[in-house]
A and B are shown apart, each in its own frame.
Chain A
């Protein structure tokens, strides 16, 4: 058995997540409802459009995108904001300040532990869905594409954790924060392509969105899998994810340093 504190934090996170398995399956089930609504919506849109492509997506691609994005967003979006903000607001952070352990390291290891099982299950569901959709629409997804998708989704999870961690730092300055996270998570879900493909928002907004890290969370991995993005664009995307991970590590470090100063009563 290992003795490293972060590995133990990971293991404990994993064990405690098993307590909430029913919760997890319910949340997967809840993802199915918007999927059905969107299915009918797009079916109607395409029937009335009279064209083959809408926003550059064929009917099949759009349905595939909608279904995959719904599951990927369940997998990627972290929902850790409220618990970290709670630590900041109610003094739970004190415990980590007085113990010889880094809060960030502790949080990320226990987070990975908590998500590991769900991550694996969601990934299996996504692969199964891809297979089903492929047979249904007689398409083919190359194995190579699946492997790159897995890589990009791992990067997405890390990126998503860092984005949430940076946003949580707002709790150092704002005292009423619970609804703030409802707003940010909605915005992030939208800007990351978790509801619609980004093409829907029009050329200008799309360009802004591409400057932000959010589209790497859902839009990018889903389109890698569905084949919408290919060739050197894939590697550009992976690079983009890597760059944003480094940038966000820096941002997290800076805002948490400022925040901690305030928390510890140094002013600022």
Chain B
């Protein structure tokens, strides 16, 4: 498969000044400032194939946005190379700008005082989309997202979910081959979230668009991204299939137990990692090979009325990776 994005040994350092708490330190800082370097992105390499949907995950401040900014040409890296469809992003060639777009859930690109249709039309002119294509795309996308009647409504009067859908249309009007989605479902209700997810899935399948998605909602990632790249403190801690995030680590299962009588925590602790406990209910992480033995003990020694054995959630696996690498 042709690769859309090639990132090699990407590094970005930011310089900043040390600030200490207290009046005296503040005064001192006026005359003497200590310069520090923060390694926001530290030797990151990965490649993404054309048409792939990749979840880009990491805790706040991990270097996700910095990486996305370098991929889209907003920031120059300190060192390393990036190749996006044959272009070096920070050269900011006009042809490069034509092939991608960014959607940010936190930042609107629409004019709040005007109908969304006007902002979409402005984008059409900026990207010089031919009239016929424009009309076809607009019809298709607005119908898919069910906002056709709202194109003439002032953006200020739209609901949050409706506005997000308009953002999507505005950034897809030139049919980009590559999309950077930065938390596109933030602040949306469940129905709108689902609509946005379904739409993105459709768009990816229909146009074979390459998508990089960051989100803190696991549902977004699980629904859309077969592959995940986890970044923490500026380095990649996991790159591979999303489903295998757990098996990648030590193999464990989650046993959930309900008791008919009050049970003490101490007795449970010897079987594994107790995640939750309130006397009548417990969640315990147990190594896979010990599940059988542990279950026998539980059923034999405790007043168990109900139980389930589950895979660890992906979320749990990700949290572990974050902690483990921090």
Contact = CB atoms under 8 A, between A and B. Distances in A.
Interface in A76-117: 90-92, 94-95, 97-101
B97 A3 contact: no
Interface in B102-151: 102, 107, 109, 111, 113-114, 118-119, 121-123, 125-128, 131
Contact of A3 (B75, B94, B101, B125): B125
Specify which of B98, B100, B109, B125 lies most central, judged by the most chain A CB atoms within 10 Å of its CB: B125
Nearest to A4: B125
A97 B107 contact: no
A266 B76 contact: yes
B73 interface: yes
Contacts of A266: 76
B118 A100 contact: no
B12 interface: yes
Given A9-B122, A12-B118, A99 B97 contact: yes
Specify which of B75, B107, B119, B122 lies most central, judged by the most chain A CB atoms within 10 Å of its CB: B122
A5 interface: yes
Contacts of B131: 3
Contact of B74 (A4, A9, A19, A98): A98
Contact of A99 (B113, B118, B121, B126): B126
Interface in A1-32: 3-5, 8-9, 12, 15-16, 19-20
Contacts of B119: 12
Interface in B1-44: 12, 14
B199 interface: no
A231 interface: no
Contact of A8 (B75, B101, B113, B122): B122
Contacts of B92: 97
B12 A98 contact: no
Interface residues of B, number: 31
A19 B114 CA distance: 9
Given A264-B74, A265-B12, A19 B125 contact: no
A5 B114 contact: no
B127 A265 contact: no
Contacts of A90: 107
A48 B111 CA distance: 55
Nearest to B98: A100
Contacts of B74: 94, 97-98, 264
B302 interface: no
A98 B100 contact: yes
A82 to B, nearest CB: 16
A15 B118 contact: yes
B90 interface: yes
B235 interface: no
A264 B90 contact: yes
Contacts of B100: 98
Given A97-B74, A97-B92, A265-B75, A16 B97 contact: no
Interface in B62-96: 69, 72-76, 90, 92, 94
B113 A16 contact: yes
Given A98-B102, A99-B126, A100-B98, A8 B121 contact: yes
B163 to A, nearest CB: 16
A3 B74 CA distance: 27
B107 A91 contact: yes
A98 B126 contact: no
Nearest to B109: A95
Contacts of A94: 69, 74, 102
A111 to B, nearest CB: 14
Nearest to B156: A19
B125 A5 contact: yes
Contacts of B98: 100
Specify which of A264, A265, A266 lies most central, judged by the most chain B CB atoms within 10 Å of its CB: A265
A12 B14 CA distance: 37
Nearest to A94: B74
A4 B131 CA distance: 13
A19 B127 contact: no
A90 B107 CA distance: 10
Specify which of A3, A12, A98 lies most central, judged by the most chain B CB atoms within 10 Å of its CB: A98
Contact of A98 (B97, B107, B122, B125): B97
A100 B127 contact: yes
30 contacts: A3-B125, A3-B131, A5-B126, A5-B128, A8-B121, A8-B122, A8-B125, A9-B122, A12-B114, A15-B114, A16-B111, A16-B114, A19-B113, A20-B113, A90-B107, A92-B107, A94-B69, A94-B74, A94-B102, A95-B102, A95-B107, A97-B92, A98-B97, A98-B102, A99-B123, A100-B128, A264-B74, A264-B75, A264-B76, A265-B12
Q: Shortest 5 CB-CB distances between A and B: which pairs?
A: A5-B125, A16-B113, A19-B113, A100-B97, A8-B125
Interface of B: 12, 14, 69, 72-76, 90, 92, 94, 97-98, 100-102, 107, 109, 111, 113-114, 118-119, 121-123, 125-128, 131
Given A15-B118, A97-B74, 8 more contacts: A5-B122, A12-B118, A15-B113, A95-B102, A95-B109, A100-B126, A265-B12, A265-B75
